[in-house]
Structure 1
Amino acid sequence: MYSPNGTYTDSAPITITNTFFRKVYLWMTAGLAVTALASFMMLSSAAAQQMIFGNRVVFYGLIFAELGLVIAMSAAINRISAATATLMFLGYSALNGITFAAIFLIYTNSSIASAFLVTAGTFGAMSLYGYATKRDLTGLGSFMFMGLVGIIIASVVNIFLQSEMIYWVTSYIGVLVFVGLTAYDTQKIKLIGQAGFANEQERHKAAILGALRLYLDFINLFLMLLRIMGNRR
């Protein structure tokens, strides 16, 4: 289309990308809302807390179920329907909310609120950077992924070592990793939106998968900041 000054501009791809991004963020927000609701329901039931947190088999079973849902959804996204992808994402968000309720039993409400506000501001700033920057963040994403693998390995080892130094080192590095991944994932989602989709089903599934990636970045950044900022009860 022509702009008022007579130059040719093509705003259609930008409009399509922005519409796709709004859908991604709406679903990410929906996932966070489901997580918050599931946590609230857990906290309002002493029987549910006893069943989940009083039994390690049940608790770790839910953790593995969450991990399985994420892996299954990411691996099968091209074969499943958009409705199935949506249900899997919301199911994961609900399961995460159930296990997430534990933080309200460990940390004070004020420190949780503070960590959430810092997370929201940091996430928003880095996501905006990832969307607006012209720099290719592929190298950053690869580096952050290696850092994530290192954090996972160190955290597993620390289950046995119980080292306070490892705990704090992984917490601070974790903040940097998920800050970087937020920018990288945002740029990647933007490029996916610019490439376009064959149909509305594919567009919806891509939005759900994008929402999952940003949801994971947000949640993990929040947990790392809470480990640093949080005051225990």
Structure 2
Amino acid sequence: MRDSLYIEAYSLQKHMVKSFIWMAMGLIITAAVAFVMYDTGAYFRIMYSLSQSGLSLLLLLPMFVQLGVAIYLSSRLYKMSTVTSKVLFISYSVITGITFSTLPLIYGMDQIFTAFAFSSVLFICLAIIGNTIKLDLTKYSALIVGALFTLIITSVIGIFLRIPSLDMFICYAGILLFLFITAYDIQKMKRNYEIARQDETMLEKLAIYGAFDLYLDFINIFLYVLRLLGKRR
């Protein structure tokens, strides 16, 4: 009995480590693409060429592709192949890197490194909490969805009102919300493992899906922290 429990815990640990490895790979790809695009000026040359040719609307293409990949990966997980899920995750990481290539111009490299370090500490702490806390966070999924919609609506309103205090509130609320979601996603990974632990193919896809969730959590925490640092600069 004790041996079976040990094997089960070890298998769950391997599954979660695999997700964290894929998440780290996604972040490395995003950072590498962003740096190359910024350092070579490729992104700005593309923007200039499109604006000169009257195709400026294509500048929004990466954002829509990101959204499409996220929706497709979430909705078709059980039907797509493992290779497809990996390709979509890597593609999303690359596209995010392209869009992030403008961040050094806006905030500066020092702010970016500081935000990354601070976000990493927050993320790791909440990942540990999500893995060890006894409270079942997965039952709060409806509350999380409602909070996300509220945050999005408030953010849109903030764009038009341009009130510094409101924008500051949105940043803090966004950080707190995605920290909670990080802990929630850790527990969701464990729950999904329990459901599909007899299906190796599904576990492989769930590892990618879990990595994608964690990747999005970290990216959102990073962006909100970066916005706060930018306001205090």
Structure 1 and Structure 2 fold alike (TM over 0.5):
yes
Q: What RMSD in Å do the two structures reach over aligned CA positions?
A: 2.0
Name the stretch that deviates more: 54-63 or 83-92. Answer: 54-63
Decide whether the 8 Å contact of 2:196 with 2:202 is kept in 1: no
Residue of structure 1 in register with 2:34 after alignment: 39
Decide whether the 8 Å contact of 1:34 with 1:93 is kept in 2: yes
| 2:153 is the counterpart of 1:153 | yes
Q: Deviations over 1:182-215 (max 9, x none)?
A: 1111111112223343432211110000000000
Decide whether the 8 Å contact of 1:23 with 1:207 is kept in 2: yes
Residue of structure 2 in register with 1:195 after alignment: 195
Decide whether the 8 Å contact of 1:69 with 1:92 is kept in 2: yes
Decide whether the 8 Å contact of 1:111 with 1:231 is kept in 2: no
Q: Structure 1 residues 138 and 2, CA, compared in 2 at 3 Å: closer, same or farther?
A: closer
Decide whether the 8 Å contact of 2:82 with 2:204 is kept in 1: yes
Name the stretch that deviates more: 55-64 or 97-106. Answer: 55-64
Q: How many residues in Structure 1 have an aligned counterpart in Structure 2?
A: 228
Q: Structure 1 residues 161 and 50, CA, compared in 2 at 3 Å: closer, same or farther?
A: farther
Q: Structure 1 residues 66 and 232, CA, compared in 2 at 3 Å: closer, same or farther?
A: farther
1:164 offset after TM fit, Å?
Answer: 2.4
Give the match's secondary structure for 1:230: helix
Residue of structure 2 in register with 1:6 after alignment: none
Q: Structure 1 residues 191 and 139, CA, compared in 2 at 3 Å: closer, same or farther?
A: closer
Residue of structure 2 in register with 1:92 after alignment: 92
Q: Please, which runs of 5 or more residues in structure 2 have no aligned partner?
A: none
1:126 offset after TM fit, Å?
Answer: 0.3
Residue of structure 2 in register with 1:113 after alignment: 113
Question: Percent same amino acid at aligned positions?
Answer: 33
Give 1:146's aligned amino acid.
Answer: G
Give, in whole Å, the separation in 2 of the partners of 1:176 and 1:103: 22
Residue of structure 1 in register with 2:23 after alignment: 28
Residue of structure 2 in register with 1:48 after alignment: 43
Name the stretch that deviates more: 193-202 or 23-32. Answer: 193-202
Name the stretch that deviates more: 194-203 or 149-158. Answer: 194-203
Decide whether the 8 Å contact of 1:39 with 1:100 is kept in 2: yes
Q: Please, which runs of 5 or more residues in structure 1 have no aligned partner?
A: 4-8
Q: Deviations over 1:37-56 (max 9, x none)?
A: 11012112224323247755
- Spell out the pairing of 1:178-217 with structure 2 (5 A cutoff): 178-217=178-217
Give, in whole Å, the separation in 2 of the partners of 1:205 and 1:198: 13
